[in-house]
Amino acid sequence: MAVKVIYEADATDLKMADRRKRILRSSAMFIFQLALIFILVSILGVWAMFIFLLAMFMFLPAPIIPTPSKYKITSQGVMLDERRIFSLKKEYKLRANEERKFVSILHRRRGEILRLYTSEPKRVVNILDKIIPKQKQPRRHGLKGEGRK
C-alpha cells in the first residue's frame, strides 16, 4: 500500500545554517548532565547512578535531537528516511520557530524530540496538527442536576 506524501522538504541548507546553535545546545546539555551526575555522586554515592539514569530517561531533555536533512510528512507520520517513520502521538505538542526556520515536536516531559527545518514553519505546524491524533473528549450522559422524572 502506497503512502500519500502530504509535504516533502530538503532542508540541508537551513540545517547547516543553524549548525552552530545546535552544537552549542548539545554541548550545554552534556555539560549540564555531567554536572548533575557529579553533584548526585558526591551527595548520594552509588545510588546516584540509578537516580541519574531514571531522570535521564524520564525527565531530562535529550542532548542530541534528531534533525533530518530530508523528510516527508505522510498521514502515518514523518518519514525520516525510506525505512523509519516517526509516528505522532496525541501527547506531542508543536512549536514553530519562524526566525530559525524549524518546527519542534515536543514531548510532555522530555521537551524537544524531533526538529524539522523548513522554509514554511507555520504551514508544517498546520499539516502536523491535522495528523496528530486528538484527545478524546469525555462522554457526557446528561447535564448536572438532570434526573429521571
What pLDDT does 149 receive? Answer: 43
What pLDDT does 44 receive? Answer: 85
What does the pLDDT look like over 41-58, one tens digit per residue? 888 888 888 888 887 777
Per-residue pLDDT band for 62 (boundaries 50, 70, 90) equals: confident
Question: Residues of the chain with pLDDT > 90: what percent?
Answer: 46
Contacts of 103 (CB under 8 A, 6+ apart): 94, 95, 96, 97, 115, 116, 118, 121, 124, 125, 128
Domain ranges of the chain: 5-131
Contact 103, 88 (CB under 8 A): no
What does the pLDDT look like over 90-113, one tens digit per residue? 989 999 999 999 999 998 888 899
pLDDT (average), residues 50-68: 82
Distance CA 27, CA 107 (A): 21
